[in-house]
Structure formats: structure tokens, C-alpha cells
A and B are shown apart, each in its own frame.
Chain A
Amino acid sequence: MISENEIKKVVEQVLMELGGAIKVEKGLSMDSNTDVKGCGEEEDGLPDITTIDLKKQVLVPNPEDLAGLLRMKESTPARLGVWRAGPRYKTETLLRFRADHAAAMDAVFTDVSEEFVARNDMFAVKTMCGSKDEFLTRPDLGRMFDEENMAILKEKCVKNPQVEIYVSDGLSSTAVEANAEDTLQTIIQGLKGYGIKVGTPFFVKYGRVGAMDAVSEGLGAEITCVLLGERPGLVTAESMSAYIAYKATVGMPEARRTVVSNIHSGGTPAVEAGAHIADIIKIMLEKKASGLDLKL
């Protein structure tokens, strides 16, 4: 066991690191409306509750061992030390949970903006899904295009590109808006540096990963890469992935895709991911393979 002195030291250190953010008062938990630094307080409104670092927040009023509790919280992103109102959550805990879930739901149920498409000089097509509901309940339709949309793709895109890169909403519009632009530009620049030609970028609404196979066949692309929003978690709604395949065909095994996942500010940042993806594409072209067939 550690000595009392050591515990004291740990507590002091933690409190210092927190800038006095934890103030344990008699019979009450810390007052969440005050003393929380970095809370982004606006002059005309309440502070943003989503900026509070949950890992450093203890709501248990008089814990037997505060330092121990903080050490426990440091070891996991789980929402611990949240205390309770009767057997239920404190209001602050409930609101933060609902806010994190709201961000996740909004990422799924909101469309990528037209501004995003225009800003990136793209045009938009859609899969066979007629609505967000249909997109969520019919994964099969999210992998297919009707004749009209396929005709638009064929008309507006360079034929038989070496590399076709496009963007699709997938399950998070937030992820696309936050990352796709930077990732896309970095990939294009990277490939340019290698002397590799890139086809016409575009946007696919209501797209599942498998839509890239139809794109690949329709345009005759050697390599197809889609930047797509992933299903949001409560930790982040901004996670995007890149799925890349060499000569993708409809019905091919999933194992033929190479995936770069976890692209967001808390994971692999967009620009860094873009550079990495450009390197992968270069190797794919050399080895003429992707997925499990490709040893990176």
C-alpha cells in the first residue's frame, strides 16, 4: 500500500493539473456551473457542457479516496465517479450523455450540405435509396445506382482513371464535413507528386461501402477509393474511413478492400490520413492488389 504522504502528493498534483477544477464541498458535489476551466464560457450564454473533460471530473461528494478514484478514472474512458440523485443520474451526467448521443444521431440523420459538394467542385449522384430511412433499412440499395445516376457518372467523369476518389455520406455526415475536404486534397496532392493521375471527384448520397464496386465497374477505374462517414459512437461522431480496392467488382469478397479507419481529430488527423492513403494507393498500383492480397 502507498503511504498517506504519497496519496496527499498525488491529490495535490492532480488538483494542480486541474487548475482547481475539482472542489469537493461538504455534502454536495462540485458545482458544475462554476470553476470549470476551459469550458468555453460565452458572454451571452451558458458554458458548453461538452467541453468538460469527463476523465477528470469526479461528482462523488465525499469519496473515501479521491486520489484513488481519480487514478481509476485515468485508466479508462468509462463514465465513472458520476454519483447519483437517488438511484438516478445527476442532471449534469444525464445532459452530457444525451448531448453525446444527440451528436451521434444528428451525424447519422443529417445530410451532407450542398455547400460541401459545391465547395469541393463536385457534382452529386445518389444510390437507389430514396430517403434516409430507406438508406438505413436497405443496405442492399445503398450499394447500387439506377441507370440515370450511372449515366451521370459516366458522362461527367474521366473514363478508365488510374485512381478514382469520391466522397460518400455513409453513416456520418458530420465525419464527412469535418475531414473529407482535407483528406481528399492531401491524397490528390500526394498522388500528383508520384505522377499518378486522379479521375473526377464526386459525391454519392446514401452510399454504403459496396457502392464503390459499382463505381469501379461503371468508370473502369484501376483503383477506387471512397471517403465515407462511419457509424458514430458516443466518444466521437466525426470518424471517417477510406476504403480502397484494386479493380473492385460487384460481389467481390470484402477481404479485397484495404481500410484506413479512425480518421478524425482525436484519431488520425485528416491531412496525415490523406498522405498515408496516397502512399497505399501508390503501392497498390505497383503490386496490382488490395486488401488481404496486399502486404503493406
Chain B
Amino acid sequence: MKLKTTLFGIAYPFQDVKEVLAKANEEKSGDIFLGIGAKTVSERIAAKAVLSQLTLEDLRQNPVIPYEEDEVTRVIDDMVNESIYKEIKGWTLGYFREYILDHNTTGEMIKRVSKALTSEMVAGVAKLMSNMDLVYGASKIRIIGKCNYEIGKAGTLSFRLQPNHPADDVDGITASILEGLSYGCGDAVIGINPVEDTVENTKRLLNSIYDIMGKWNIPTQNCVLSHITTQMQAVREGAPACMFFQSIAGTEDANKAFGVNKELLDEAFELIKHRGAAPGPNLMYFETGQGSEMSINTDHGVDEMTLEARTYGFGKRYMPFMVNNVSGFIGPETLYDGRQVIRANLEDHFMGKLTGLPMGMAPCYTNHTNIDQNDQENATMLLAMAGANYYMGVPVGDDIMLSYQDTSFHDDATLRELLHLKPAEEFFQWLINRGVLDQKGKLTAKAGDASIFLK
């Protein structure tokens, strides 16, 4: 294992794989904050050069946090398919990049290799890729999830309807749901971030969405994004939940701060399999994003991109229906501007798909970051080309509860039209019957008038 190279006659030595991974990262304010990022552009490229010659075996044997010290490392390593690993462990990361991009390599071939990967390998190969590499590579990999209904099939694009309300008011939530439906949004899930994280409130909101789904016969699934322990209790008390939601991270410490660990998530997965309102088999919904570990001092000096890959590795254990990436949500101390957020979004989508996850994306921004609507729309279009399974749908992109901006009902409809994509099958038929979309999947003259559902 060689950890040193020379560029233009200048030597660049690195101490260990962890340092190579951090310095090979494109510029991110989070890595600079931790003092682990490359000091110069040349050092960054030198780190990429060193990384390109490391083998998959080098990366497996040098996890950024040791196996003995971290549950996330253990979960990931224990899932490796040893037979496939034996076939590929001698590959260099440089070769692996070319393998993914090769015309002869299909999505199914990548998915097979994926079974033998650890997250350091996933992050490593993504660090060697340019933005268009990330889009092209990811576009080969389709990961389908089924809860009540299937999403993620080729030719489709789905959306989570996010009808949040600053007081969890059911009338207000219903109003936003009907508006979203009138633009064709809501086939991935109708999911509410509640203001009040209590069992009673979670039950009330789960029941409310479930009633709406019943009243208008909407072929979708519901979710209330309170803490998973709150949702578990709500389900034990009989509330109808199609899936469980939880934010997860890439270190054991960070998960602990989020109030979860493997044991708890195992228990939740068993519970939703036996008591949930949907047949599955994919019944979990995870939210992730670069920088969450460093924002709560649980990063172990590891770069935010590698930790994000580890988050996916951890989440894979639970065969999720949806993984939603929200890099951009925390703020400028993790991702400084539009350029950094777009890069992170493309990395995350690629890394998630390479891990085997049904990735959806929430290219988003807060108001104390040097990002505006145009940056966000750029990220959204690039991710749609890359084949993201789904996006959020927020009225005019303005989340009035969480105070940040995300993709809107209008963005969602536009993406489908631009790339000739359709909603999930059953939802598509429902929209046609309701007069929102025509047979070709285009908005009708009535689309956008939520009051058509009041009849």
C-alpha cells in the first residue's frame, strides 16, 4: 500500500487511508472546519492519485473507524459477501471507477459487486469521479422499493408530498396535500414532519393521512416523521403506519445522539413488518446528509463524505423503501455554497445507489447559506438526469414549518415533463382518473386547482 506520490516534483506523503480519503475530497467547508481537508489544490489531486492506486482490500482493511470501536463499521463489514469480495478485492479504485463507467458494465453487474463493498470503497471511488461521472455512473443503477406500491422503476419519477404545518393543523395539512395531488405529487409517500413529537400527535397525524388516502382512494403510503421510538409506540397503540422514518448517521456516536442503534432499529424493523399497514418488503425511510456528524462532534476526524457513505452502509441493513438525502439542510459550516451543495448532492445520490439504496434527493438550502433558488434548481435537474427515485414536494418550495427551501410541486411536474418520466403506475392511473394528468403524463388544464378534490 503506497501512501505517497509526487506531482511536478513535489512529494505528497499521507499518514493513513483516513487522511487520503479526507484530502481526496472536493472542497467542503466541513472538512476545512475540522482541519482535515487538503491544504492546497495540488495536495487534493495528489490524494486522489494515491487513492486511485489503493485496492478495495486496502480500504476494507483500513476502515476510518476500527471494527472493534464502532457499531456502524461492524454492521457494514458483516454484510460483505465474501465470495464476491474475493473476486474484486485486488481491484484498484482507479480500475473500479472505469469498471462502473464501462459500456459493457450493466446496472445489474454493478449491483452484484455492490454486495461486496464497504462504505470506504464506495466513498473512495466517488472521490475519483467528476460530476458528470457521478451522474452517468448512477444513471445505470435502478433500485426499486415496494411498500404498498413500487417506486423507482425505469421511466418513473416519484415524489414525497410534504404538507408540513407550523401547528400540525389537520385542515392546513389537508389543504397542502390536495394542492400537491393536483400537481401529480405524492406517489412516494405523504409524509409530515410534526411540530410536536408525541405519541398522541403522531397517532392523530397517521390516522389523518390514512383517512385522506381512504377518502380519495389514493394509491400511496403514509408516514409521520417523529422520532422512531414515538412512531413505534403509536403503531403498538394501533395507529396505521406504512413505514417507519428515522434520521441516521455514519458513526455509532452520532446515531447515539440521534437516539438510535442497531438493536433499536432491528426491533423497529420487526415491528413494522408485523404491525405496519403496508405489505412491504421495504418498510423503512431514512434521512441522511453530509455534515450531521461534525455538527454534533461525533465525526472522529473523518471527512463528511466518507461518513455519509457509511450512513448508507448502515441503512442498507434494513432494506429501506426510501433513503432521503438532505445535504444542504445544516448550513454553511458543512457545505459552504451552491457549488459545494451540488457536488455533495451528486456524490450522495451516486454513493447511495452504489450501496444498493433507493435514493431520493432533497436538494435544499437554508437562508444563512450562500445558495439561491438557481443553485437548487441546477442540482435538481442534474439529479434527475442521474436517475434519483424521488424528490420532495413542498408548496412553492417554502417549508413553513422547518424554515428552509426544498423542491416544489411545480419543480416536480417540470422534471417529469422535461425527462418524459411518469408517476408510479397505480398513482399514474389514479391521476388520470382524477383528471390531473393526461395519458401521456402531462398536466391537464385542470391541474393546479386543488378545489377539484372538494366535489
Contacts and interface: CB of A to CB of B under 8 A. Distances in A.
Interface of A: 60, 62-66, 68-69, 72-73, 75-84, 86-89, 93, 97-98, 100-101, 104-105, 107-109, 136-140, 171, 231-235, 237
26 contacts: A63-B449, A64-B452, A69-B451, A69-B454, A76-B169, A76-B171, A78-B163, A78-B176, A78-B398, A83-B449, A84-B447, A89-B396, A97-B373, A97-B397, A100-B398, A101-B405, A136-B332, A136-B336, A136-B368, A136-B370, A138-B33, A138-B333, A140-B33, A231-B366, A231-B403, A233-B403
Contacts, number: 137
Given A76-B169, A231-B368, A68 B176 contact: no
A93 B417 CA distance: 21
A98 B400 CA distance: 15
Contact of B367 (A78, A88, A105): A105
A229 to B, nearest CB: 10
Interface in B380-431: 395-398, 400, 403, 405, 410, 413-414, 417
Name which of B32, B175, B372, B400 has the most chain A CB atoms within 10 A of its CB: B175
A119 to B, nearest CB: 26
Contact of A69 (B32, B172, B450): B450
Given A60-B448, A89-B410, A79 B398 contact: yes
B166 interface: yes
B454 A76 contact: no
Contacts of A137: 29, 32-33, 332-333, 336
A64 B414 CA distance: 24
Interface string B153-167: 000000000010110
Main secondary structure of the interface of A (DSSP, over half): loop
A192 B9 CA distance: 71
B93 interface: no
Contacts of B33: 137-138, 140
B143 to A, nearest CB: 27
Contacts of A64: 446, 449, 451-452, 454-455
A75 B169 contact: yes
Contact of A76 (B29, B165, B369, B397): B165
A76 B400 contact: yes
Contacts of B253: none
Contact of A87 (B166, B175, B367, B417): B417
A82 B396 contact: yes
A80 B179 contact: yes
B182 to A, nearest CB: 9
Contacts of A139: 333
B322 interface: no
Contact of A68 (B163, B398, B413, B454): B454
A234 B176 contact: no
Contacts of B400: 76-78, 234-235
Contacts of B368: 108, 136, 171, 231-232
Contacts of B396: 78-79, 82, 89, 93, 97
B166 A77 contact: yes
A84 B395 CA distance: 12
B225 interface: no
B178 interface: yes
Given A60-B448, A76-B176, A78-B172, 15 more contacts: A60-B449, A72-B450, A72-B451, A75-B172, A76-B172, A78-B398, A80-B179, A80-B450, A81-B450, A83-B448, A88-B410, A89-B410, A101-B405, A136-B331, A232-B368
B443 interface: yes
A140 B294 CA distance: 12
Nearest to A61: B449
A78 B448 contact: no
Contacts of B32: 137
A80 B405 contact: no
Contacts of A105: 367, 372
Contacts of B413: 84, 87
B451 A65 contact: yes
A72 B170 CA distance: 11
A80 B175 contact: yes
A81 B454 CA distance: 14
Give the 8 A-B CB pairs with smallest separation, nearest first: A76-B172, A72-B175, A79-B396, A65-B451, A233-B403, A104-B367, A75-B171, A75-B172
A156 B359 CA distance: 56
A15 B169 CA distance: 25
Contacts of B166: 77
Contacts of B414: 86-88
Contacts of A83: 448-449
